[in-house]
Structures are given as C-alpha cells and as structure tokens.
Structure 1
Amino acid sequence: MSASGDGHGEWITGWLEREVGGKVVRIERQARWRPAWWVDVERDGEILPLYVRGERVDSPSAFPLRHEMRFQSVLQEHGIPVPAVYGWSEEPRAYVMARVEGRDSFEGVPDDERRRAMEDYIDILVRLHALDVAPFVDAGIVRAGPGEDPGAVGLRHFEDSAYRKLKKRPDPFQEFVLGWLSRHRPDSRGRESAIVWDAGQLLHSDGRITALLDLEFGHVGDPMQDLGGMWVRSPFVALGDLAPLMRRYEERSGTAVDLQAVHYHYILWALSNQLEFHSVLADPVPGTDYMLNLHWCIETNLMALEGIATVVGVDLVEVDEPEPVGSAYGPAHRHLTRSLERQDLGAGAQRYHNRMSVRLARHLQRIDEIGAAVVAADLDDTAALIGRRPRSWADGGRELEDFVLADDGRHDAELVALFHRRLHRARMLNGPAGSWITQHRNVAQPSL
C-alpha cells in the first residue's frame, strides 16, 4: 500500500475498513491543489476503487462540503450519473465516493466523439433540471427564500461566505463587477431547478458521459446558470461549439434559452474565482497553490470584464507590455528560479507541490523586471479617473474602491477600460513573457 504522504492515510484506512469493509491495499494523494485521495479496497476478492474528496484548505466555497455530499446523493437517488456516495469522514473532513472510469478532458478526442458526449451532457442537464426540487429541499439543499430570485441565491451565499466575511484588502475590480451585477440582475421568470452551476465538469468515454463531477456549487437555482457556467468552463476544457448545444437544450427541454440571463450568469460565474480566492491571495496559507489561483482569477476576471464590455459597448484595445529593467536584486531572483527548476521535483503529489514553488519564483522574478512599471501605470490610470494620484499601491486600491462604491454605474465605460488595462498588466506579471501562465484565451460570448 502506497502512503498518502500527508498523515491522513491511517485515518482514511481505518474509516474505510470500518465503514465500507474489506482491506485498503492502496492509498495515494491526488496531485492537485485540494486534498483528495485515490483508494483501492480489496473486498470479497475484488478491488473496489474509491475516491476520497477532502475539504478545501485555503478558500471557502459557496456551500459546505457536507452540502455537496447531500446534493450528490440526491442526484444519485434520481438516476443522474454521479459517483455513488459511501459516506462522510470527520478526520480528515471528507466524503467517500466511487471512482468512475472516464476522461475529464477532450484532448486528442475526435470531434464526433466529443460532440456525442456533449449532446449526452446536455440531455443529462435537461433531466436534472426537470427533477422535482422537493427532495433537494428536504435534504437541506440551498434554495431561494420567499421573494428571492432563484438566480440570485447562489451569489448571495458565495459573496457572504467567501468574500465579505473574509475580506482582507480593497478589491475595486470585484466591487465594480458585484455592483454591475446588482444593477443588471435579470428576472428568472419563475424558473427554478436543481443546478450544478459549475457546469462542464464531467467524465466521458466512447461518446457518453460516465459521471458529472465536482458538484460543490450545486443548489436549487435558475437553470440558465448551468448554461452560463458551460461558457465559462469551455476555454479550460474544450467542450466544442456551444451554440448548437444551447439549441439542443431548447429542443429537448421544450424551454427557450433566455440568452440575456445566460450572458448575465456567464459574467457572474466568471467572477466566482475572485470571490473564492480574494482572501487567500491577500493572505496565503500553507498548501495554497498561489500561482494557479492567481492565474484563474486574472483569466476569469478578464472574461467577466469582456462580458460587461459587450453590454456597455466598450471597445477594448490591446495593452502594451512594459520593457523589463534590471535591478540590484535580479541576480538573486534568477538564481532562485534556476535552482528550483533544476531540483528533482519528484513525482505525483510531491511533484505538483514542488512545481508550485517554481511558478511562484518565476512570478517574483517577473515582478522584479516590470513590477514598478505596472504599479506606476495603474496609479496613472487611477489619477486620470479620480483627479489625483494616490501615493502608493495600497492607497491606489483603497481610493479606487471608494470611487467604485460611490459611482453607482455613472462611469461604467471608463471603469471597464481601466480594469481591462489593469488586468492585462497583472497577467503580464504571472511569469516569463509568452509562458502559458501569461496567456489569455479569446472567449466567444454566449450565443445561439
């Protein structure tokens, strides 16, 4: 049996052998940012493959992990293809599910096979959205309160639990988008169903979906949220042309796609990374994949902003990259980066965590090269908007947030252009010029 390498192997083994039965013959920490383990249990002469999904260590979700387990269990009971749930562990806080065969990406998959798989995914969403919400409510799944729009309840939970409660520093961009979303919220027109929200996370095989994955944001909301979520997911997992899938949804569900609502929920869901990781980017904790979180935030913040620009009617222009300059600290940054790059990174989860340090060192080296120019340009932009130049980066963030909070939409066009420049400059700081972590994907807006 391979060790999990994190001190939880004994607890997981004891829980599984007591609650599931059999003997644990393999336990391995998954190479990713959140605690999770692959486990094989030998029972009655056969291997039972399981997956243990742990609680986040660095950032809160919109809903607790137990809520996710209950949501997944109700889906399982109603014939939606999800991994079967085996139960809850208190130490580590995690829940245990079946390990399902299938691929989680479409890399190298023929277009026809991907199309068939995504059509199957849409058909599953249609079935899911048609389920009676009563069993979900009875299981304690979050639902809009009396008089609350179903499309707003998820954002309320996310904003309150992951952002307002833990806010560490000014976040003018996030306040701008939250204000814009509040002023432009669409009417769900009575639509309400169980939704996964973070749509497009799946396993597939031979053109069929074998399971829906990562259901931590599932609740009772507006089904258009799932369609908006797919548009956000598509640049990261190549889901194919989504417009025909939207039309298939209409045909199979008998419900017209509310494109205005889909576009709104595309913007909202694109903001979810900033909501989730604001606190841990301001004050990282051990185990945080800082650069992955930062990359996700910048990329999806740009997606949200581009969505707003489409509504506001702002033409976004290319942002110039500052010329790198030498500094007295450049040799130390280069030496640290090269030293980390040349070390034996190991394998599996250990390699993943060592790579986190390499990416962080490259980020700090890039800050040494162009960071001062980025801060100066951001302060110049703020000065042009508010009429005075803040004294420092910290003052600039606070004064720009104060301006946003008092503005109430009067300068939306100017703020869209300003934040577009700021986000692209932040993107340029992620790593060496041209590296994957500095790339921005061109994303098609929701359409039919």
Structure 2
Amino acid sequence: MAPADLLPEGLAAAVERASGARVTAVRPRGGGGASRDGAELDLAWPDGRTASAYMNYDVHKAGAGDDAAFLREAAVLRALSGPLAGAGVRVAPYFASVADQRALVCGMVSGNDRFGGIADARQRSALARDFMAQLAALHRIDVAEAPVAGMGPVEPAEAFIKRRIAALRSANSGRAWDPLIHLSLNWLDANVPTDMPAPVIVHGDAGPGNFLFEGERVTALLDWELVHYGDPMADLAMLCLRMLFQGFVPLPEAFAAYEAAGGHKVDLARVRYWRLLFQTGFARRSRYDDPDAPPPPNLGMNLVYSTIHRRVLSEALAEAAGIDLPPVALPEAPIGAHDRSFAIALADIRDSIVPRISDQQAAVKAKGMARLIKWWRAIERFEPGFHAAEKQEIEAALGLEFANHAAAWSAFRDEVAGDRIATERAIILCNAHETRDAALMADAMGGLADTKFAPLE
C-alpha cells in the first residue's frame, strides 16, 4: 500500500506541496483530543534532508473550531519556530499546514506526555515549575510591538469574551438548544471581568497532556488549536480544565511558580470566570445522533469528555451563582435484559480484539467502542428510573403533571428559554439532569467518573 493510501484522499499530495518534501512513509496514530485524527510521517526534501513529523488533521472539521482558529494555530507555531524563537517558548518545529483539510505538520520532539505517571514528588514539582515558566515566557511576548503574522488583530480580552458568548448563544439553538448552556451564558454575560491587562498570546489549552518533557524540563508545548490573544488568566483557567483528566501539582503551587517565573499576578476571580467560560464551550452536547453532523473520530471518548464537562459545568455554575446543590436521587434498578450480550461483547473487545490489533489508531477506536457498549448497558438498566425521578422533579418545580418524561423535559426547556423559572431552581434541575447522565456513563468513564475541579487555593 502506498503511503498516500493511509490518509484521506489528496492529503499526502497537499502536504508535499506545502512542505516541499516527499512523504515517504505514513503511520496512522490517534489524533489530538477527541476531534482530530493523526499520523506520523517520514519526509524527504530534494536537498537530501529527512525528518520524521507528526500531523494532526480534521478533514471533516469535526469539533476543531472555525477556519480562523486553525490559521491562528499554524501562525503561532510558525512564529515560535522562527521569528519569536528567542522568547524561549519550546514548540515542535513547524513544517507545513493545509488549511482546507485542517492538517498541521510539525517535527517530532522527544519526550513523554504523561505527567501523571511521574512518581517522584521532587521531579513533579520541578517539572511543573518549568511548565509554568513556559507559560510565563509566552505571556511576556510583547504582541503590541510584534503581533504574530496570521493570528489576526490584537484586541482586548473583553472583545474575545463578548464574541465567544455571542457565538455560543448562536450555536445554542434549534433542536440542540440547551438550558444548561443558556443559564451559564446568562451568568457569564452579567459578570464580565473589568480592568483586565493588555492582551497576550494565550495558548488556550495549556496543561498536563499537552506538553512533552524529559526529566525536569519541558521539551515542547503541544496542541495550540485554541490559541488566541487575551487575558493571561485564561491559560491558568485552562490548566484547571486539563486537570479534570490528568493529574498535576496543586494549583496554589503552580500559580506561585508562574508568578515567580515572571508571570502576571494571579487573579483568582478572573481564573474562575475564564474557567466557567471555557467549560461552557466544552460542554456543548455532542450531537452524535444528528444525521447532518460528521462522525467524530472516536465517539466513545467524545461522549466521555462531553459528559464530564457538562456535569462539572453544572457544578461550577452553581458555585459561581452561590447555589448549594442538594443530593441527586439515583434510583437503583435490576440488571437489564441484555446484560449478558453486552458482557460478551466487552470481553471479546478486551480479550480477543485489542490484543491482536497492531494498528494503534484501530486499537483506540476499539476501546472507544467498549465505552459505548458500557454506556448502552447502563441506559437499558437505569434510564427508565432516572427519567421517572426527573419527571417528578420537573412536575414539582412547574406545578404541572406530564404524560411522560419527554413532555416534562420539553416543558422545562421552554420555561428556561423564556426565563420564566427561577434561576436557582433551573440550575438545580440542570445539575440533577447532568448528574444522572454522568451516572449512565460512569462505567465507561472509569476513574474519571468522579473528577472535579481542583481547589484554587
């Protein structure tokens, strides 16, 4: 099989045109996060130079943001690999980008990305200090004097916030309209921070899992797809989100290291605000059942991330609004009628399929399928009882009776959309809804099932 045959049609040729190098080998790999595919490439230039590279790509544009976001990512990596290299921000060297297929090709960098696997406490602290120093170095770049070519105009953080809220409101429409997103955007709109500093380059997805390291030194910051100009506190807030999925040092220690390395004074109120804004964006419900939406590369992991983000958003919104959340009823239920068939399928994936797969990308997808099967099993067993409990709660809140759960949930959505229900009651009902959805996904999430934001102080 020719190397080009392992990639979407036309992608290898486009990379060759953009890089000036011939693609001599392709090894498919798992992509970045839940939205992007990936591959390792071997490249050969006419002058005899060769290099190995990693390419993220998203030919369906599934979950990767707008075209401008991709162009910003390519632009900042090009700059930090070249004219801004003196800033000391370590990145994988930029080779090429293909905008119409969201393909970004950078040189391979040595290092490990599993911070959580470090057992030595001294190494963890030293490495965390170096990572926070990298963020401080990024935030010290004077973009007023030297804006990054291709990243667009430098604008105040308030403009980014207003545009982001407007975009999320616009997207929260039609069949996918979401009361939790609506309530969160209402709070964010009413509480925009004031007196933010001059804008800096914000990595946008900084934290464990998105940097490589060797020993106590960061070798490269990765995954710049959310880069933008804005408030430096936004990167500290994103660190909180990354820590939902991977361990790091305690946040007070990380923040102190950031300030000691020359970063901005940490403002916890702004960190909380950005944390909620980013969480609202990540918590948009996955439309896996939308026939017009392209399928995500890994539906199982996509649903895991979405479910966690939504539950945590409901909790963070309640905290921001000063609401004490009551316990959520999770009715027990007998084993479902098809439990044995689910168990057999899971055993086949675990014991026979995954051990025999040499293709890393296929193995990742097989594990994602196992997560889906666990979810389907929980739906069969628990969803009827969960729906009954939620119907009763909505009836009590609205003072009405409904024929079934679907009618009750539809009426609740209408009341929130019209701002006819008290905000506190609405947030409590949304939290109960997301807590139950998370309970259905708990087996598929494994150790992530109970993850929460780490304390800020």
Same-fold status (TM-score > 0.5): yes
> Structure 1 CA distance, aligned partners of 2:282 and 2:226?
12
- C-alpha change, 1:431 and 1:45, in structure 2 (3 Å) is same
Is the contact between residue 2 and residue 28 of structure 1 (CA under 8 Å) also seen in structure 2? no
SS state of the match for residue 179, structure 1? helix
- C-alpha change, 1:19 and 1:119, in structure 2 (3 Å) is same
- C-alpha change, 1:397 and 1:202, in structure 2 (3 Å) is farther
Corresponding residue of 2:39: 37
> Structure 2 CA distance, aligned partners of 1:343 and 1:429?
26
Kindly state the Cα deviation for residue 194 of structure 1 after the two structures are TM-superposed: 1.2
The alignment status of 1:399 with 2:411, answered yes or no, reads yes
Please point out which of 174, 183, 193 is paired with 2:190. 183
Is the contact between residue 35 and residue 53 of structure 1 (CA under 8 Å) also seen in structure 2? yes
Kindly state the Cα deviation for residue 385 of structure 1 after the two structures are TM-superposed: 1.9
Corresponding residue of 2:205: 198
> Structure 1 CA distance, aligned partners of 2:401 and 2:294?
33
Is the contact between residue 193 and residue 220 of structure 1 (CA under 8 Å) also seen in structure 2? yes
Corresponding residue of 1:273: 282
Corresponding residue of 1:112: 122
Letter in 2 for 1:236: F
After alignment, is 199-208 or 23-32 more displaced?
A: 23-32
> Structure 1 CA distance, aligned partners of 2:160 and 2:456?
17
- C-alpha change, 1:331 and 1:444, in structure 2 (3 Å) is closer
- C-alpha change, 1:393 and 1:193, in structure 2 (3 Å) is farther
1:108-134: CA deviation from partner (whole Å, max 9, x where unpaired): 312222222221122221221122224
> Structure 1 CA distance, aligned partners of 2:135 and 2:224?
13
Corresponding residue of 1:82: 91
> Structure 2 CA distance, aligned partners of 1:382 and 1:421?
11
The number of residue pairs the alignment matches comes to 439
Corresponding residue of 2:56: 53
Q: TM-score, normalised by structure 2?
A: 0.84
Structure-to-structure mapping, 1:30-429, within 5 angstroms: 30-32=29-31, 33=34, 34-42=36-44, 47-55=50-58, 57=60, 58-61=62-65, 63-76=68-81, 77-79=83-85, 80-89=89-98, 92-109=101-118, 110-134=120-144, 135-136=146-147, 138-141=149-152, 143-144=154-155, 149-150=158-159, 152-153=161-162, 155-156=164-165, 159=168, 163-164=171-172, 168-200=175-207, 201-253=210-262, 255-275=264-284, 278-280=286-288, 285-325=294-334, 333=342, 336-337=345-346, 340-341=349-350, 343-345=352-354, 346-347=357-358, 348-407=360-419, 411-429=422-440
- C-alpha change, 1:179 and 1:308, in structure 2 (3 Å) is same
SS state of the match for residue 271, structure 1? helix
5+ long unaligned stretches in structure 1:
none
- C-alpha change, 1:327 and 1:206, in structure 2 (3 Å) is closer
> Structure 1 CA distance, aligned partners of 2:304 and 2:5?
27
SS state of the match for residue 308, structure 1? helix
1:360-410: CA deviation from partner (whole Å, max 9, x where unpaired): 1221111111111112222222222222244444434432232223338x7
1:140-183: CA deviation from partner (whole Å, max 9, x where unpaired): 436547xx71451562475268x34x754231111111112112
> Structure 1 CA distance, aligned partners of 2:446 and 2:2?
33
- C-alpha change, 1:281 and 1:249, in structure 2 (3 Å) is farther
The alignment status of 1:28 with 2:27, answered yes or no, reads yes
Is the contact between residue 82 and residue 213 of structure 1 (CA under 8 Å) also seen in structure 2? yes
Kindly state the Cα deviation for residue 241 of structure 1 after the two structures are TM-superposed: 1.2
Is the contact between residue 65 and residue 216 of structure 1 (CA under 8 Å) also seen in structure 2? yes
Is the contact between residue 172 and residue 401 of structure 1 (CA under 8 Å) also seen in structure 2? yes
- C-alpha change, 1:310 and 1:286, in structure 2 (3 Å) is closer
> Structure 2 CA distance, aligned partners of 1:403 and 1:318?
23
> Structure 2 CA distance, aligned partners of 1:86 and 1:391?
60
After alignment, is 356-365 or 21-30 more displaced?
A: 21-30
Letter in 2 for 1:71: V
SS state of the match for residue 53, structure 2? strand
> Structure 1 CA distance, aligned partners of 2:398 and 2:147?
48
SS state of the match for residue 245, structure 2? coil
> Structure 2 CA distance, aligned partners of 1:142 and 1:391?
54
> Structure 2 CA distance, aligned partners of 1:81 and 1:246?
20
RMSD over aligned CA atoms reads 3.2
Kindly state the Cα deviation for residue 441 of structure 1 after the two structures are TM-superposed: 1.4
After alignment, is 284-293 or 222-231 more displaced?
A: 284-293
Q: TM-score, normalised by structure 1?
A: 0.86
> Structure 2 CA distance, aligned partners of 1:298 and 1:92?
28
Letter in 1 for 2:391: L
SS state of the match for residue 29, structure 1? strand
Letter in 2 for 1:40: D
Kindly state the Cα deviation for residue 39 of structure 1 after the two structures are TM-superposed: 1.3
Kindly state the Cα deviation for residue 214 of structure 1 after the two structures are TM-superposed: 0.7
- C-alpha change, 1:185 and 1:195, in structure 2 (3 Å) is same
5+ long unaligned stretches in structure 2:
none
> Structure 2 CA distance, aligned partners of 1:26 and 1:61?
29
